[in-house]
Amino acid sequence: MSAALVAGLVAGYGIAIPVGAVGAYLLALTARTSLRIGVAAALGVATADGLYALISTLGGSVLAPLIQPVTGPLRWVSAAVLVTLAVRGALKAFSSYRRPATVDRDLADPFRAYAVLLGITMLNPMTLIYFTALVLGGPTTGDGAVFVLAAFAASASWQLLLAAGGALLGRLLTGPRGRLVTALASSAVIVGLAVGLVIS
C-alpha cells in the first residue's frame, strides 16, 4: 500500500505542479471572482486528474494506444477553448475597468466553474498517457484505489494552493487598473501556453 501511496502522490504532483494554461486560468479566475469559485475550479482540475488516474489503472494500457492518434486534434480543441476563455477574460476586464461597479459574472457559479475546469482538463489526453506510463512502470498493481486517491489528493492540494494564490492576488490588486493589468497579462500568458500546447 505504501508504494502505491507514494507513487500516487508523486504522480499527482508530477502532473499538477507544472503550471500550464489551465493553472494560469485557475489563478486568473480566482483573482477576479472569489476563493469559493477558485476552490470549485481547482477541484474540477483535480477530479480530471483523478479520473485519468482511475482510467489508467483500470485499462490505460489498452486505452493509451487508442487515444494516441487523436492527441493532435484534442490538443487543438483544448487550445481553442483556452484561447476563447482568455479572450473572454480580457474583454470582461476591459468592461469592468470601464464600469467598475459591475460584477464579473464569468464562471461566477461554483458548479459551472467546476464543470468548465473539469472539461478543459479532460481534453488533455497527455494526462492519461502520463498516468498510464506510470502505472505500467510503477508498483501500483493491486493497490489501484490507493494510487488513484493519492494522485487526486496531490493534484487537489496543488490546485487549491493555486486558487489561494489567485485569491491573494485578487485582494492585493483591488483597484480597477490593477485588475485590468493582471487580467490582460493572464490572458496573454494563457494564449501563449495554449499555442505552445499545439506546437509542442
Please report whether residue 186 resides in a domain.
no
Cell of 175: 483597484
Domain range enclosing 140: 2-79+105-173
Q: In this predicted structure, what is the pLDDT of residue 105?
A: 55
Counting as low any pLDDT under 70, the low residues of the chain are 1, 19, 60-68, 71, 74, 78, 82, 93, 96-107, 125-126, 128-129, 132-142, 173-176, 178-179, 182, 186, 193, 197, 200
In the chain, the number of structural domains is 1
Q: What is the pLDDT of residues 58-112, one digit of tens each?
A: 775 566 666 667 767 767 776 777 678 778 777 776 776 666 544 445 567 899 9
Please report whether residue 86 resides in a domain.
no
Please report whether residue 168 resides in a domain.
yes
Q: In this predicted structure, what is the pLDDT of residue 15?
A: 77
pTM over 0.75: no
Please report whether residue 183 resides in a domain.
no
Q: In this predicted structure, what is the pLDDT of residue 114?
A: 95
Please report whether residue 184 resides in a domain.
no
Please report whether residue 21 resides in a domain.
yes
Q: In this predicted structure, what is the pLDDT of residue 152?
A: 93
Please report whether residue 31 resides in a domain.
yes
